[in-house]
Structure 1
């Protein structure tokens, strides 16, 4: 069933902020993140005839956003991705210098994670997708998703604790 304008507007309202957080964590730049979200929604609207409500709208939108991000990476070859459960829900950098410093440390630690670990963790934590949805999206086994998320969290904790020791 094709997506109606009214339902699409509801999806934008319901998922716009989450898509922005994902895009921002992937590209590390407010302007680029806003552009990517806009492009993702434009692509979603253009492909509304293929929308299948039973497959999950957030997963559908995140898949489209992910494709836009990958397209951008292919063009620029510059990758700056970051996310962490403790920072993800805080939003984008605030006015408090301590918060900005903490997020900068997290950004640096996340930049050191291998791309596959970053992406998988991002989709689960920021994208709020189930492990199975991520497995389907990335065309990998569920066990691989679980393993990547676990390894990403372990490495991130280690990197952040090393950073904390440096600044103590």
Structure 2
């Protein structure tokens, strides 16, 4: 079943803020996050004829977003910044600040994780995917995602304990 314009707008309204939060955490700054979310929604519209509501909207959208993030990383080939505090940049998708609830220390701790650990924890925690959805998206076994999320949580706890201790 092809995605209608009305369904597309509903997807943007319903899932845009989540995609933006995931993109912000993966990209590390507002500008790149906005760009990859726009690229992802452009890809969604371009592939609307392949939309399958049975497979789960959020997982499909995050899979597209993930591909756009990886494309951006490949093009940039430079270290990601820890945060972007440019308040003059208008928000295109999510009115709520993704920084709320994520301190600079948390953003720095996330950047200390390997890409595979960071991606797993962000898909499950920020992207609100089930472990199985994340496994399907990453094309790895469920046990691998469970292990990566567990290791990421332990490393984040250790990193934050070190950063926040007096």
TM-score range, shorter chain: 0.7 to 0.9
Q: Give TM-score scaled by structure 1 length.
A: 0.86
Aligned to 1:163: 163
- Unpaired stretches in structure 1, ≥5 consecutive residues: 83-89
Measured after TM superposition, the shift of residue 29 of structure 1 is: 1.1
Higher relative contact order (CA 8 A, sep 6+): 2
After superposing on structure 2, the runs of 4+ consecutive aligned residues of structure 1 that deviate more than 4 Å are none
Provide Cα deviations, 1:134-166, integer angstroms capped at 9, x if missing partner: 11111111001000000000000000001112x
Q: Which residue of 2 aligns with 1:124?
A: 124
Where in structure 2 are there 5+ consecutive unaligned residues?
83-95
CA distance in 2, matches of 1:71, 1:115: 14
Q: What is the alpha-carbon distance in structure 1 between the residues aligned to residue 79 and residue 145 of structure 2?
A: 21
Report what 1:75 is aligned to. 75
What RMSD, in angstroms, separates the aligned Cα atoms of the two structures? 1.7
**Does structure 1 residue 25 correspond to structure 2 residue 25?**
yes
Aligned residues: 153
TM-score, length of structure 2 as denominator length: 0.87
Give the deviation of 1:109 after TM superposition: 1.2
Q: What is the match of residue 115 of structure 1? A: 115
Whole-angstrom distance in 2 between the partners of 1:79 and 1:5: 37
Q: Distance in 2 between matches of 1:91 and 1:129?
A: 21
Partner of 1:137: 137
Distance 2:126 2:7 in 1: 23
**1:73 and 1:155 mapped to 2: Cα distance?**
23
